[in-house]
């Protein structure tokens, strides 16, 4: 193995260890080599998008966007240990996406069942006095929309290959399969329908101390080793650059269109390409 391949392997181990956990290789083999029917065809839009390094940007954007719903944010603030165990939460999310996107139908359903079981205990009362429940279909819809829109937006800007409008619609339809399994009634099945449903939530979204605290934590106080702070900062800036202006104001995030065009976007391209290079299968992975 060359020095370059040693570096690539080391970077891949570091990233996968953080995102998936110390058993990343075992989980990958379990999901990708198990026999059985899958929810989605190999190489379909959902598999292309969820395998791409642009997901790092999409995931950050989704978290920022989701925080604008006061009931969804109350559930995170009351029941999530994201400050003390941020990597654990990220790893659970990555495992869910891996199982539902690439695993067998049985593995996908098991992942859904685990999430629903956890959600049963995520109930409470928001600061404004309204009750909330994580399994509320309305809140599930908001979380789903924020994720699907963010993953798609990040891939469109930073993905490895162009995405046609038909591919984008197919991605939304495939994400709807997961949403229905989780309990979302009539999720959108086209990009236009997704945007329509997102707009319907605008009246429910607003700033809150908890949402601003999440934004500060994700963007300026991430639990990162010093060597990773610069590339993470680029990913975070790229996520903010993808947010619509109406979502930035309540989170007190800046809007510098020229800087984002001439500096943030090229830097995001560079980091996502670097991650894509590090995480690609080694040259001999398809042999034998």
Q: Encode pLDDT of 195-213 as tens digits.
A: 999 999 999 999 999 999 9
Number of domains in the chain: 1
- pLDDT, one tens digit per residue, over 126-167 is 999 999 999 999 999 999 999 999 999 999 999 999 999 999
The burial of 162, by beta-carbon neighbours within 10 Å (0-12 exposed, 13-18 middle, 19 or more buried), is given as exposed
Residues 188, 97, 57, 166: is their CA dihedral positive or negative?
A: negative
Residue 258 confidence (pLDDT): 86
Domain contains 208:
yes
Residue 288 above 50 pLDDT?
no
- Rounded to 5°, angle at Cα 54 from 257 and 62: 70
pLDDT per residue over 213-223, tens digit each?
989 988 888 87
Quote the distance between the C-alpha of residue 28 and its chain's center: 18
| In a domain? residue 21 | no
Residue 179 has pLDDT above 60, yes or no: yes
pLDDT of residue 242: 96
Which pLDDT band, with edges at 50, 70 and 90, does 278 fall under?
confident
- Determine, yes or no, domain membership for 137: yes
Q: Is residue 74 part of a domain?
A: yes
- Work out the angle between the directed axes of helices 226-242 and 137-158 (0-180°, nearest 10): 100
Sequential DSSP letters for 183-237: T-SS---SHHHHHHHHHHTGGG----HHHHHHHHHHHHS----HHHHHHHHHHHH
Q: Using one digit for the tens of pLDDT, what is the confidence trace for 256-267?
A: 888 888 999 999
Query: What is residue 2's predicted lDDT score, i.e. its pLDDT?
Result: 79
Look at residue 143 and tell me if it is in a domain. Answer: yes
How sure is the predictor about 287, in pLDDT bands with cuts at 50, 70 and 90? very low
Give exposure, 2-33, as e/b (b: 16+ Cβ within 10 Å).
Answer: eeeeeebeeebeebbebbbbeebeebeeebee
* Confidence class for position 124, pLDDT limits 50, 70, 90: very high
- Cα–Cα–Cα angle for 269, 153, 133, rounded to 5 degrees: 130
Mean pLDDT of all residues belonging to the chain: 89
In three-state form (DSSP H/G/I as H, E/B as E, the rest C), the secondary structure along 74-129 is HHHHHHCCCCCCHHHHHHHHHHHHHHHHHCEHHHHHHHHHHHHHHHCCCEEECCCC
Q: Which range is most confident: 177-191, 215-229, 245-259?
A: 177-191
**Residue 212 CA: distances (Å) to CA of 69, 85, 201, 208, 217:** 12, 19, 19, 6, 9
pLDDT tens, residue by residue, 3-45 = 777 676 766 666 766 676 667 677 778 888 899 999 999 999 9
What pairs with residue 131 in β-bridges? 125
Distance CA 183, CA 189 (A): 15
Instruction: Say if 8 falls within a structural domain.
Output: no
Q: Check residue 43 and report its DSSP letter.
A: T
Higher pLDDT, 96 or 227: 96
54 and 154 Cβ atoms separated by less than 8 Å: yes
Residues 6 or more apart whose Cβ sits within 8 Å of residue 75: 122, 124, 132, 134, 139
**What is the pTM for the complete model shown?**
0.90
The domain of 199 spans 42-279
Per the domain annotation, does 11 fall within a domain?
Answer: no
In a domain, 24, yes or no: no
Q: What is the mean pLDDT of residues 45-66?
A: 95
Contacting residues for 142 by C-beta, under 8 A, at least 6 apart:
66, 69, 72, 201, 204
- Per-residue confidence (pLDDT) for residue 254, from 0 to 100: 85
123 DSSP β-pair partners: 133
Instruction: Name the band, by pLDDT with cuts 50, 70 and 90, for residue 286.
Output: very low
């Amino acid at each position: 193995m060359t020095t370059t391949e040693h570096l690539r392997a080391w970077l891949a181990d570091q990233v996968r260890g953080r995102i998936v956990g110390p058993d990343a290789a075992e989980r990958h083999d379990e999901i990708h080599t198990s026999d059985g029917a899958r929810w989605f065809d190999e190489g379909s839009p959902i598999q292309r998008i969820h395998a791409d390094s642009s997901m790092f940007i999409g995931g950050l954007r989704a978290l920022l966007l989701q925080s604008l719903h006061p009931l969804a944010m109350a559930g995170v603030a009351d029941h999530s240990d994201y400050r003390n165990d941020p990597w654990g939460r990220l790893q659970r999310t990555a495992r869910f996406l891996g199982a539902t996107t690439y695993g067998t139908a049985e593995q996908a359903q098991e992942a859904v069942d685990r999430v629903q079981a956890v959600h049963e205990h995520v109930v409470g009362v928001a600061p404004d006095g309204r009750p909330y429940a994580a399994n509320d279909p309305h809140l599930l819809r908001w979380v789903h929309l924020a994720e699907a829109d963010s993953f798609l937006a990040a891939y469109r800007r930073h993905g490895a290959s162009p995405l046609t409008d038909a591919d984008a619609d197919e991605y939304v339809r495939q994400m709807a399969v997961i949403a229905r399994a989780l309990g979302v009634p009539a999720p959108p099945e086209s990009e236009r329908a997704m945007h329509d449903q997102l707009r319907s939530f605008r009246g429910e979204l607003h700033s809150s101390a908890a949402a601003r605290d999440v934004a500060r934590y994700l963007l300026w106080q991430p639990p990162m080793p010093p060597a990773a702070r610069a590339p993470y900062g680029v990913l975070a800036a790229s996520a903010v650059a993808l947010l619509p202006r109406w979502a930035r104001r309540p989170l007190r995030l800046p809007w510098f269109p020229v800087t984002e065009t001439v500096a943030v976007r090229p830097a995001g391209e560079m980091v996502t390409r670097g991650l894509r290079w590090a995480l690609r299968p080694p040259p001999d992975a398809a042999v034998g």
